Structure 1
């Protein structure tokens, strides 16, 4: 499958309906195995546990491992999704849960720096179409003229910008630290964590009763959730070959000049809305440097055996953008680089659905580069669905995907 040349700042909505809904409901105390301790799997396991299920969480390398999509330092959290109200509302709930859980964990994970959207034209639907949702939630954006941008952020070259919008409610999250905190809380609250590899399933026809692990154990449960991030397509190749792929996405950490280091760390999270590359960045990062990434899809990537090394052409393009938008960083040294494997769905929407051949095996994934921030809200949603409080949601369905 060729990776789609798209961005996932605003996945499109889908209105098609399922031919026949299958809405699961497990009785309290049922056993659930969750495979994958990343942003989706870890939070789902925790909220299933809090719903009264008996939960086992399995991961081959552990939460926040170097191969995972959650293994980097930070991730952006923003509600702006164009006209897609579903994700806006989901992120509003996620913000509430991030704040609630970081208090429970006694660990700061959300940094409210704001998110600056840098717009090239008078009309920017990606941002403009979210304004009404922001107003409904009393989370208004602030319009910034180029004059105001220059006054507040002299480090930014605004010559080709028309204006900016500041979302004062967004910011960034600690990524690796967060998924590890979730795993720790899961165990402390009574869940069982097993570090082991799950043996691939044979062709699935009918309900699944057990899973075999690389440590020789066999896990039996009433339901199974595969939330394997970048490995989901590999585990179910026949079903997901045309629906999921993994691409190599790179982020870079540059060292700002010493006389400007403090100013760059005070910048908000930013997104350059050029309609093509969608460069974005997270300044500060606990003094790790000026982080820059690009949302345009990279090459197909093997999350298990692929080298997490930079691509010279991608780095060169990032440097060119950096020199243009942040001229003081033109000659900034590269401190380090990371690879973030994107587990892409065809339209950027998440996947949460039953395997079509079963009534007890769920697929949870399709993070598509924008899933991390939604982790707690999606985990809560999964738990409510298995408890019979919600129905499977059409936008996250497997069937009828383009």
Structure 2
């Protein structure tokens, strides 16, 4: 387990020869296991490409056990010097806007993302500047003096400056997963709620999966996008690669005198280099959300209790009282646990089982995957159907 979050996944990778999966005929049946951000969007893009698609999930899209659960997720383009994720996020932003218009459903809230910077030139921000310019985007640099006027409820005296990314904001998490699943079914895809167990791989192929109702589901290809459960379904391949950690989020009740200040401010991220607290204000008047991005304790996504660790909560509250003094005595009105499915380097995983080229793994969200869902699903659909090479950055190391 990494000692701190991989906020900017490593862009370097060993040089590997290009590889492409088998080209699938559009009459092929593809089963996607997991209706979260990765699996749901991939299933939808596969359906749109003309394939027969069955999406399966044990507890439903956006359920409380899933990494894609809870109410909201941050969407940001800032990734340091990693252009792959920057470009993926630019495409994702385009697709989020397109789909919320298509479905007449508010999913993306363009509040901006406010970065709290302790150093003069934090690499997370500065290394992204060339990519911002390439896409005709720009940050807004805010001095501590200016911040005191713009955000009087934020303590900024220990910061060097603040940076606003006006393109970012937050997404509806649980609701978006459900919207994708509903679109899949409306479009003619099949959805099943069941626990899945893969059959044994024989002669280089996976022929079927066994469902918890005792039935068998056969297909030409299988995509396992089941988050923290990937390592449990395939322990021989992913058991030491995918780890699940307990990540906590809290909703604090803001004082009535400060509601407008807190509820209308941007999403924020604290670049302290250690805890990486972040927050999502306002959403549907649920309270002021603060998330703990520093990797937590190992966690069982199936049986683990979604109860806050008192020490983690106390530390988060101390930070909030410092950064947002008006919240010093704010009541905890709600709390959530989000299981992170971490890869060793923070990069996503999109690769085949080493013994079966029709069995695909899609995961490794590592706490930053949700925002990329529509763009990653679009990319995954092309790779899984053999239309383009695998991405080296996402191959199993």
Please give the range of the TM-score, normalised by the shorter of the 2 chains: over 0.9
Any idea what SS the aligned residue of 2:283 has? coil
Q: Which residue of 2 aligns with 1:198?
A: 196
Over the residues paired in the alignment, what is the CA RMSD in angstroms?
Answer: 1.2
Is the Cα contact below 8 Å between 2:201 and 2:207 reproduced in 1?
no
Q: Is residue 140 of structure 1 aligned with residue 135 of structure 2?
A: no
Q: Which residue of 1 aligns with 2:292?
A: 294
1:230-253 CA-partner distances (Å, limit 9, x unpaired) = 111111111112211000000000
Any idea what SS the aligned residue of 2:284 has? coil
Any idea what SS the aligned residue of 1:139 has? coil
Is the Cα contact below 8 Å between 2:244 and 2:341 reproduced in 1?
yes
Q: Is residue 12 of structure 1 aligned with residue 10 of structure 2?
A: yes
Is the Cα contact below 8 Å between 1:91 and 1:373 reproduced in 2?
yes
1:140-183 CA-partner distances (Å, limit 9, x unpaired) = 11111111111111111001100111000000000000000000
- Matches of 1:186 and 1:20, distance apart in 2: 32
Q: Which residue of 2 aligns with 1:276?
A: 274
- Matches of 2:297 and 2:312, distance apart in 1: 11
Cα distance, 1:215 vs structure 2:
1.4
Pair 1:123–1:17, CA change in 2 (3 A):
same
Of residues 314, 321, 324, the one that matches 1:323 is 321
Any idea what SS the aligned residue of 1:359 has? strand
Is the Cα contact below 8 Å between 1:40 and 1:365 reproduced in 2?
yes
- Matches of 1:211 and 1:200, distance apart in 2: 4
Relative to the length of structure 2, the TM-score reads: 0.98
- Matches of 1:115 and 1:202, distance apart in 2: 46
- Matches of 1:201 and 1:352, distance apart in 2: 21
Q: Which residue of 1 aligns with 2:302?
A: 304
- Matches of 2:312 and 2:359, distance apart in 1: 39
Of residues 24, 34, 43, the one that matches 1:26 is 24
Cα distance, 1:308 vs structure 2:
0.3
- Matches of 1:96 and 1:249, distance apart in 2: 29
Gaps of 5+ in 1: none
Cα distance, 1:95 vs structure 2:
0.3
Cα distance, 1:367 vs structure 2:
0.3
Any idea what SS the aligned residue of 1:199 has? strand
Of residues 354, 357, 378, the one that matches 2:355 is 357
Relative to the length of structure 1, the TM-score reads: 0.97
Gaps of 5+ in 2: none
- Matches of 2:273 and 2:298, distance apart in 1: 22
1:317-348 CA-partner distances (Å, limit 9, x unpaired) = 00010011000101100001000000000000
Any idea what SS the aligned residue of 1:286 has? helix
Of residues 58, 61, 66, the one that matches 1:60 is 58
- Matches of 2:200 and 2:297, distance apart in 1: 29
- Matches of 1:139 and 1:29, distance apart in 2: 42
Pair 1:225–1:146, CA change in 2 (3 A):
same
Q: Which residue of 2 aligns with 1:208?
A: 206
Is the Cα contact below 8 Å between 2:200 and 2:206 reproduced in 1?
no
Any idea what SS the aligned residue of 1:303 has? coil
- Matches of 2:280 and 2:126, distance apart in 1: 22
Length, aligned pairs only: 397
Is the Cα contact below 8 Å between 2:360 and 2:384 reproduced in 1?
no
